[in-house]
Amino acid sequence: MYPPPQIQPLERLQIQDGLLVNAERWKRSHDYHRQRQNIHYQSLNQPGIVCGLGVSLIPAPKDVPSQYNDQRWLQIQPGIAIDVVGNPIVVSQPIDFRIAADITEEKPRLIYIVVSYVDPENLQRQQVKEFEPETFRIDEKTTPPDAMEVELCRILLQSGLVNLKNPQDVFYPGLNCLDFRHRPIARSRPSAIVSVAHLETVPAQNPNSFANLSYLLKSTGNLTSTFQGAEQIDRLAFPLQDITRAIAYDLLFTTGRQPISLDIQELTDLKSYLDTGGVLLIESPTDAIDRLDSILDLTEKLDTPLEDLRRLDRHHPMRTQPFLFAALPTFNQKPIQMLIAGGIVVVIGDLSAAWGLDENLSLPRETIRTAQELGVNILHFAWARRQMTQLQRQTTFTASTSTTPAKPDALRNVFNKLEQ
């Protein structure tokens, strides 16, 4: 989500007797400490607002020209924020600000109010003071904030005469209302951020699966402080049509009842994705025999035998990280089964249906929490597999070995149980 610091060495001034301290050496010596501080913050924290920086509506100031005497005026309250590279943004006094956007089209447009750090050395000054305060810039934008900007609020502005107002419900602001729901808050940086894409078939097999996946990713930040799902979930066509795009994701998720059929090129693309450390999560109902059979055929073609999680090491990360599962849960009176074949994870049962809100709002809280915790284990497994695979690809030569895989029989056992 937020980039790590640049990997480049810091240069420190070497002090010795007779050293001539000029302006350039003094500056570089102080920049060294500043860069160390920024690296420390950027490595361990996320940018955002530390305190204050509220936005309130005010009447037009008395000394403004008549054409600006309207109800478009805001006041930015004092406060502190930190940007993406660790620069402190300190607003010490209230700042009056007028929304200048003129919406000409009928459709309302989002306006973003942002603040950003300004280095005193980048200011155009007629004379140089002995001490120059670090400062900031407040902007009004019609595009989302960039990496160096911190959002203070946004407004869905309509065309015509605009009268800004406070929302009646801060959780559901309307037109021309201040919207604070997207303000980033400075906090500790998670050690893992997993990126996910939703694989969709035509026609769509489960219209709620995307929303349920979104619920799962949003839950990660609340369930564990060290792990986080990416905010954006992209939709990709399945079978994969753009392997270069798919490689960017740690996990690809697909669910439904239809069999999975891949041609030679699609199978090659999938193998390329799995070789980068990616994980394909396939969910199937327990009675979708044709789909389960196609999954077995797929793993056989990839020479990756399916193994039942119950037969793997009891400390397998899917079972233990970050949440501990002795037995897998049961949903809709049917036990969940999990099968693993390298980077392919097969879930048999209705796991994703319990990641979010059901249509009748009838799922017990314990069911949702259990499903989400198991889902977080899957996400963590995907992130860890990608990370360790990439570390290996970067630090070792590729070694190719030929082995004869064991005959996968885990799904056969499932079929036998279903047919009984």
Give the side-chain half-sphere CA count within 13 A for 355. 25
Q: What is the pLDDT of residue 396?
A: 45
DSSP category for residue 165:
B
Spans of the chain, pLDDT less than 70:
1, 123-127, 202-205, 394-420
pLDDT number for residue 317: 93
Q: In terms of Cα–Cα distance, which of 304, 257, 308, 284 is closest to 411?
A: 308
Whole-model pTM above 0.85? no
CA distance linking residue 295 with residue 285, whole number of Å:
12
Closest listed residue to residue 363, CA positions, set 378, 376, 351: 351
Assign 402 to helix, strand or coil. coil
In this structure, are residues 174 and 156 in contact, taking their beta carbons and an 8 Å threshold?
yes
Q: Cβ-count burial of 201 within 10 angstroms (0-12 exposed, 13-18 middle, 19+ buried)? A: middle
Q: Decide: 88 and 80 in contact? Cβ < 8 Å.
A: yes
**CA dist 378 to 245, 254, 348, 369, Å?**
21, 14, 14, 14
Q: Read off the tokens for 405.
A: 């895989």
Half-sphere exposure of 192 (CA within 13 A, CB side): 23
Please give the CATH topology (third level) of the domain spanning 192-396+405-419: Rossmann fold (3.40.50)
* Segments of the chain assigned to CATH 3.40.50.12140: 192-396+405-419
The pLDDT value recorded for residue 404 is 40
Return the pLDDT at 83: 93
Q: Are 164 and 71 in contact (CB under 8 A)?
A: yes
β pairing state of 95-98 and 279-284? unpaired
Would you say 241 and 204 are in contact if contact means Cβ atoms under 8 Å apart? Answer: no
HSE-CB of 410 using CA atoms within 13 angstroms = 24
pLDDT number for residue 411: 52
Q: Estimate the crossing angle of helix 209-223 against helix 365-395, to 10 degrees.
A: 80
Query: So what's the pLDDT on residue 412?
Result: 55
Q: What number of residues does the chain have?
A: 420
